[in-house]
Amino acid sequence: MLSSATPDAETLLRAIAAAAPGLWFPQPHADSHGIPREALTEPLWLLRQTGLVEVGDWVKGLGQGLRLSDRGTQAVTSPDPLAIPSPVPLPPPRREPDAPLALEQGDAVRTAVLDPPPAVVAPSLLYANLAWFAVGCLVAWRHGVGLEFLKGDGHPGAMATLMDTGATTAGAVWRGDWWRLATCCFVHIGLFHLLCNMLMLGLMGPFAEGLWGKGRFALIYGVAGVCGSAAAMALHPVAPTGAVVMMAGASGALWGMLAGVVVWVVRARQHLPPELLREWARKLMFLVVMNVAISFAPGVSAEAHFGGGAAGAVVAWSVSGGHRRPRLWAVGGVGVSLLASGLLLAGTIRWSDGWQAVKEREKVRRLIADMRLDERAAIRAAVGDDWGKLSPVNVNAVHARFLYVNPARVAAVSVGPPTLRGMAERLRLAAAEAVPQVPPENELGDRYRDYFTAVAAYATALRDELDRPGRKETPEVDVAWKAYGEAQARLGRWE
């Protein structure tokens, strides 16, 4: 018959003796007698502290086994009445209700190592990254840059697709797109970048989730990813050349996952067999050294790696077992990580030279965004692809310089021939002057060169028509205007 009465130490000692020469297991005993497993904790602690029982093997599905010690065997077989002495030293002060004892911690550690539940979060994250990369491929294919997107070689069209699918830059953060600090963890710059990160997530993710459990693993991974992105944007907003730095990839989150595993092993080392502990230490040391070396490779954000790793370690330590008031520790660890990342980012935005350049660049972008397409093209032709280095004053100066590179304005003028002819001539001279300032031969430069050449040809045809006696309409102006329109269309969207 099942009983819910709490067993005393003597009852458990005799139950352990009855299981000899085999092992006795707390959980099956609790299940068979209809009592909670927690009810066995105190009497078992007493038996272990007095040296009457000792720990045996851990068996999958049954838990931690116990057996009688020599002292316990003598006590049970002695004809004298059984008397369990008080433990030496005395029991520790009353613990918090939610602070586990060492025996419970050991059971949890061995269960996580030998009998982890099936992984759910890690495979879900892997599939989410693969699915989102497939979405990026579709968007890139529609824009005609599918191959460039797969290669991840910095093609402007592929970079635009990355931004459309959630990557981030310092400029985007400055414009208020803070959500990109999280979404960029699911965006990858090319197929090789994706495969490298997913290989680590696929191999190590289920193992880390088995150690921490679903909820804590998701918390470590997510907070590390956001904090790694914030660290990268804070400390490396622009390249040394002044070029825009784009942030994408799950590396910060993966570093947090790796740091979480290291913290788990450190916290659980007293409950792990020495040979297993040494094996894990060697493997983790290899992974850490390898990832540190990769962090300093060209095009890799060491700031995101180390920032994510630091945040992952803090959160992992805060959610690990053994703390008094563990929920308070968990909230505190997450809060400290996010707050530290936020303060770092806010401080660099306020005081760093790199962020001053970003803010200046954004002023330029807003000025150019208010211009017409042909005026933007004029500025692009004057300064090349590195227009972000311009100051707002310089933008206005270049804008004024190419003010007349605008056939639509000339065509809309309804004043007398002398004034119209003068504007056409200024347009021709401005366009002709812009042609040699176009960047060196490349696809982008060719489009701008064609555009300004077409503008100059239209202005020349219009001037010649105005100079012709009688000003009879001729097809040359219409042909030149059509060529201008086609050249303008080839410019496409300019940002």
Lowest mean pLDDT among 206-215, 330-339, 422-431: 422-431
> Residue 96: which pLDDT band, with cuts at 50, 70 and 90?
very low
Kindly state the average pLDDT of the residues 28-33: 86
pLDDT at residue 99, rounded to an integer: 46
What is the rounded end-to-end Cα distance, in angstroms, of the chain? 79
CB atoms within 10 A of CB 397: 13
Query: Phi and psi for 64 in degrees, rounded to 5?
Result: -80, 125
Does residue 304 have a pLDDT over 80? yes
Kindly state the average pLDDT of the residues 400-406: 56
Letter for the amino acid at 294? I
Domain at 178, CATH number: 1.20.1540.10
Tell whether 150 and 31 lie within a shared domain.
no
Q: Is 100 part of any domain?
A: no
DSSP single-letter state for residue 165: T
Does residue 95 have a pLDDT over 50? no
Q: Nearest-CA neighbor of 388 among 350, 360, 367?
A: 360
Does residue 294 have a pLDDT over 70? yes
Tell whether 199 and 325 lie within a shared domain.
yes
CB atoms within 10 A of CB 73: 14
> Residue 435: which pLDDT band, with cuts at 50, 70 and 90?
confident
Task: Please give the share of the chain, as a percent, with pLDDT higher than 90.
Answer: 36
Q: Is 2 part of any domain?
A: no
> Residue 199: which pLDDT band, with cuts at 50, 70 and 90?
very high
Tell whether 289 and 391 lie within a shared domain.
no
Q: For residue 296, give both structure tokens.
A: 């300093």
Kindly state the average pLDDT of the residues 182-202: 96
Whether residue 388 contacts residue 174, with contact meaning beta carbons closer than 8 Å, is answered with no
DSSP single-letter state for residue 404: T
Q: Is 108 part of any domain?
A: no
pTM (predicted TM-score): 0.67
Q: Which residues of 169-180 are buried (b: 16+ CB within 10 A; e: fewer)?
A: bbbbbbeeeeeb
Lowest mean pLDDT among 17-31, 74-88, 117-131, 203-217: 74-88
Residues forming a β-bridge with 101: none
pLDDT at residue 371, rounded to an integer: 67
Tell whether 350 and 473 lie within a shared domain.
no
pLDDT at residue 495, rounded to an integer: 36
pLDDT at residue 470, rounded to an integer: 61
Highest average pLDDT, of 204-213, 323-332, 478-487, comes from 204-213
Tell whether 167 and 248 lie within a shared domain.
yes
Task: Please give the share of the chain, as a percent, with pLDDT higher than 70.
Answer: 77
Provide the domain count of the chain.
Answer: 3
Question: pLDDT tens across 229-253, in order?
Answer: 999 999 999 888 777 889 999 999 9
Please return the burial class of 402, using the count of CB atoms within 10 Å of its CB with bins 0-12, 13-18 and 19+: buried
pLDDT at residue 406, rounded to an integer: 59
Q: Is 457 part of any domain?
A: yes
- Domain region containing 467: 371-491
Mean pLDDT of the chain: 81
User: CA–CA separation, 236 vs 70, rounded Å?
Assistant: 64
Residues forming a β-bridge with 244: 238
Tell whether 17 and 138 lie within a shared domain.
no
Tell whether 238 and 264 lie within a shared domain.
yes
Kindly state the average pLDDT of the residues 181-185: 97
Q: Is 347 part of any domain?
A: yes
User: CA–CA separation, 269 vs 105, rounded Å?
Assistant: 11
Letter for the amino acid at 136? G
Does residue 6 have a pLDDT over 60? yes
Q: Which residues of 203-229 are buried (b: 16+ CB within 10 A; e: fewer)?
A: ebbbebbbbbbbebbbbbbbbbbbbbb
pLDDT at residue 387, rounded to an integer: 53
Q: Is 101 part of any domain?
A: no
Residue after which a domain boundary falls, among 356, 391, 413? 356
Q: Nearest-CA neighbor of 432 among 410, 458, 453?
A: 453
Phi-psi domain of 473 (left: phi exceeds 0; alpha: psi -120 through 50; beta: other):
beta
CA dist 203 → 127, 200, 208 (Å): 14, 5, 10
Question: pLDDT tens across 339-392, in order?
Answer: 999 999 999 999 998 898 888 888 877 776 776 665 665 565 555 555 555 666
Q: For residue 159, give both structure tokens.
A: 């970079």
User: CA–CA separation, 33 vs 437, rounded Å?
Assistant: 89
Tell whether 377 and 329 lie within a shared domain.
no
> Residue 98: which pLDDT band, with cuts at 50, 70 and 90?
very low
pLDDT at residue 201, rounded to an integer: 96
Q: Nearest-CA neighbor of 7 among 52, 48, 38, 51?
A: 38
Q: Is 111 part of any domain?
A: no
Domain at 58, CATH number: 1.10.10.10
Kindly state the average pLDDT of the residues 258-262: 96
- Alpha helices per DSSP H over 175-273: 180-183, 191-212, 214-235, 251-268
Whether residue 187 contacts residue 248, with contact meaning beta carbons closer than 8 Å, is answered with yes
Does residue 184 have a pLDDT over 70? yes
Q: Nearest-CA neighbor of 448 among 385, 370, 363?
A: 385
Does residue 283 have a pLDDT over 80? yes
Q: Is 254 part of any domain?
A: yes
> Residue 302: which pLDDT band, with cuts at 50, 70 and 90?
very high
Angle at 462 between CA 460 and CA 466, to 5 degrees: 115
Tell whether 377 and 352 lie within a shared domain.
no
Q: Nearest-CA neighbor of 179 among 188, 194, 164, 168?
A: 168
Tell whether 307 and 266 lie within a shared domain.
yes
Tell whether 435 and 337 lie within a shared domain.
no
Query: Phi and psi for 406 in degrees, rounded to 5?
Result: -155, 85
Kindly state the average pLDDT of the residues 70-90: 69
pLDDT at residue 1, rounded to an integer: 38
Residue after which a domain boundary falls, among 94, 111, 141? 94
Instruction: Name the residue with higher pLDDT: 128 or 106.
Output: 128
Does residue 438 have a pLDDT over 90? no
Phi-psi domain of 59 (left: phi exceeds 0; alpha: psi -120 through 50; beta: other):
beta
pLDDT at residue 439, rounded to an integer: 62
Tell whether 76 and 129 lie within a shared domain.
no
User: CA–CA separation, 123 vs 206, rounded Å?
Assistant: 7
Residue after which a domain boundary falls, among 292, 324, 356? 356
